[in-house]
Amino acid sequence: MPIHTFNISSFRSLPDPRKFEEGSEEYNAILDEYPGVLKYTPRSGTGMKNMSYMTRVMKSVGFDTISSEWWHFQDEDRKQFMVLDYDLATDVTWIAAEDYEALMAEQNAQPPMTLLPDYVIFPIIKEETPDES
């Protein structure tokens, strides 16, 4: 199942007319609603199972779907938050995929920015228990 194809092949519930007899009422209804659907490769059973699995996982942690893009998930609580028009290029350096390994090797060769002490002390915090009187 291709990702980021912005045509009807991206619809989450795109029906496959090939499952019906050519010329049947169901077949023709699908072609009427989705002209050109036959030029797209039908989704495989494995692809559909993977999409369903990913959907169950994402919904279980608070995301929902949109119908026009099978891969797209969004936070159910999104309306509570202000939309920001923020250019990530301000704080993020984008590199080509082929340059990633060399960049990571270079960064890993550098010493850490802050040296940690040889020991770290964690305070013991006693939990208060209610009086049992």
pLDDT tens across 39-48, in order?
988 888 898 9
Give CA–CA dist 14/44, Å, rounded. Answer: 12
Give the predicted TM-score (pTM) of the model: 0.53
pLDDT tens across 59-102, in order?
999 999 999 898 899 988 888 888 778 787 777 777 888 888 89
Domains held by the chain: number: 1
User: Is residue 28 assigned to a domain?
Assistant: yes
Domain, as residue range, for 63: 8-76
User: Is residue 14 assigned to a domain?
Assistant: yes
Say what the pLDDT of residue 130 is: 61
Beta-ladder partners of 110:
none
User: Is residue 54 assigned to a domain?
Assistant: yes
